[in-house]
Amino acid sequence: METHYEILGVSTDATSDEIRAAYRRLAKRYHPDINHDPDAGERFIAIQQAYETLIDPDARARYDLALRGGGTAGPHDPFQRYHPDGQTVRMRGFSWSGQAPASWTGRIGVMLLLFLGGVLIVFMLVLSLLSRAVFGGRQQQDS
């Protein structure tokens, strides 16, 4: 597995200007709009990810620590942010799909809770409009 330094072709003690210059050079070469090679898109994503990690001092320090063996690596690598088949962000412990209740009682309870919350919001909006109509008109007449 290539490191971010190898992807950008810079040394581990490269300055931010060197990292930025390497990124620009490689981004121009591998950008999918310019390079029509099927692997260019994946390579461009890897270049962009390497740049985003190395240009941020905090992320770079965490990455260097992980390279030295002081952090996690492997399938849960915190610096692996893209799936090979697309640009889906992967974050440890996060999922867009929530845990659905297992029983029908729990599902009905969730639906009832959402319904009552919606009714409460509508009730508060109507009450707000009525109070504005009643009390708002009196304040304008006093002025």
Tell whether the model's pLDDT for residue 32 goes beyond 60.
Answer: yes
Burial of residue 50, with CB atoms counted within 10 A of its CB: 0-12 exposed, 13-18 middle, 19 or more buried: buried
- Say if residue 49 is in the same domain as residue 20: yes
Q: Is the pLDDT of residue 103 over 80?
A: no
Predicted local confidence at residue 22, as pLDDT: 94
**Residue 59, token pair as written in the block:** 């992320």
Say whether both 6 and 67 belong to one domain. yes
Q: What is the pLDDT of residue 41?
A: 86
Q: Where are the alpha helices (DSSP H) in 56-96?
A: 57-67
Q: Is 70 exceeded by the pLDDT of residue 2?
A: yes
- What's the whole-model pTM score? 0.49
Say yes or no: 131 and 71 in one domain: no
Q: Is the pLDDT of residue 54 over 60?
A: yes
Phi and psi based region of residue 69 (left: phi greater than 0; alpha: psi -120 to 50; beta: remaining): left
- Mean pLDDT computed over 118-129: 95
Amino acid 74: pLDDT: 46
C-alpha 23/C-alpha 8 separation (Å) is 6
Q: Looking at the structure, do residues 120 and 73 belong to the same domain, yes or no?
A: no
Same domain, 2 and 45: yes
Dihedral-angle region of residue 74 (phi above 0 means left; psi in -120 to 50 means alpha; beta otherwise): left
Q: Look at residue 10 in the predicted model and tell me its pLDDT.
A: 94
CA 74 to chain centroid, in Å, comes to 20
Domain count, the chain: 2
Judgement on whether residues 7 and 57 belong to the same structural domain of the protein: yes
Whether 85 and 19 map to the same domain: the answer is yes
Model pLDDT, residue 117: 94
Phi and psi angles of residue 142, each rounded to the nearest 5 degrees, phi first = -70, -30
Task: Determine the structural domain holding residue 119 and report its residue range.
Answer: 100-143
Q: Which residue has the tokens 């845990």?
A: 99
Mean pLDDT of 80-96: 50
pLDDT at 86 > cutoff 60: no
